[in-house]
Homo-oligomer: A and B are copies of this chain.
Amino acid sequence: MKLNLNNADNLPIFRQVALALQQKILVGELQPGERLPVETVLASDNSIHRSTVREAIRSLEQLGLVRREPGKRKLFVSAPDTQELSRRLITPMVMNGVTFEEIWEAISALDPAAAEAAARRRTLDDLKALEDNIAQTRAALGDPDKLVRLDIEFHELIAIAAGNRVIQALRLPISDLFYPSFQAVMSGLNASERLLTAHEKILQAIKWGDADEAREWMAKHLNDFRKGYELASLDMSDPAALPPAKVKD
């Protein structure tokens, strides 16, 4: 595979190779699933050293444009995983000291929209999953840790039911960043019952296809969470912390 190496900006060769391949992929000349030539071929076809090719591949791997099953050797073109890339936003957000308020505002924009869309598009499977989640929640009222996990799952299920992959992807990093503060809030007075009620109302609205109601209950639910946050004497303007176990990638 001969590449069109463009040294205009006299970039290092490995970068030119990465760009050339990226280009071919974005333009559709190389399609996801397609197999890429072996390193030695890529190298000799372009009269460059294999190490140089390898460095290019490393870059493309991180972009998700090229993939190798772990332990395998065959190299494939791939469409980057939106969710995976979206989650990478967590790191810079935390490192840049994004505040809890910013996060809350963002989720407060996305989740009510998701609830609304879910009320319009939910399938039976979606409803089933949501009901399942609520049943588990009901059974876990005494267990804050479990509640946190279930609440996060509930919101994710709604995003799925919304049938909107963009919203689903965008809310991922924020949802993850919520994790730590959930813990703190969930111990607050009546928090669990209020949470359960809200979830039930939301599900009901979604089931009935009442988009406005779904949106409103979701908004209420998030407002409630915010109040709990403040009641717990936490400061909305504190920077968000890295969610546990998200330290690794």
Residues of chain A having any CB pair with chain B under 8 Å: 11, 14, 19, 22-23, 26-27, 32, 51, 54-55, 58-59, 61-65, 70, 79-82, 85-86, 88-89, 91-93, 95-96, 98, 102-103, 105-106, 108-110, 112-114, 117, 162, 164-167, 169-170, 174, 242, 247-249
CB pair A61 B63 closer than 8 Å: no
Q: Within 8 Å CB of A89, what residues of B?
A: 82, 85-86, 169-170
| Among all A-B residue pairs, the 3 with the closest Cβ atoms | A62-B62, A109-B113, A79-B95
CB pair B113 A167 closer than 8 Å: no
CB pair A106 B54 closer than 8 Å: no
CA distance A225 to B209 in the complex (A): 25
Q: Within 8 Å CB of A114, what residues of B?
A: 109
Rounded to whole Å, the gap between the CB of A179 and the closest CB of chain B is: 15
Rounded to whole Å, the gap between the CB of A29 and the closest CB of chain B is: 12
Interface residue SS majority, chain A: helix
Q: Within 8 Å CB of A63, what residues of B?
A: 62, 88, 91, 249
A166/B62 contact (C-beta < 8 A), A32-B95, A51-B51, A110-B109 known: no
Rounded to whole Å, the gap between the CB of A69 and the closest CB of chain B is: 13
Rounded to whole Å, the gap between the CB of A166 and the closest CB of chain B is: 4
Q: Within 8 Å CB of A82, what residues of B?
A: 89, 92-93, 96
Given contacts A82-B92, A102-B165, A109-B167, 13 further A-B contacts (CB under 8 A): A14-B58, A23-B247, A32-B95, A58-B58, A64-B92, A81-B92, A85-B88, A93-B166, A102-B167, A106-B166, A109-B109, A109-B112, A166-B174
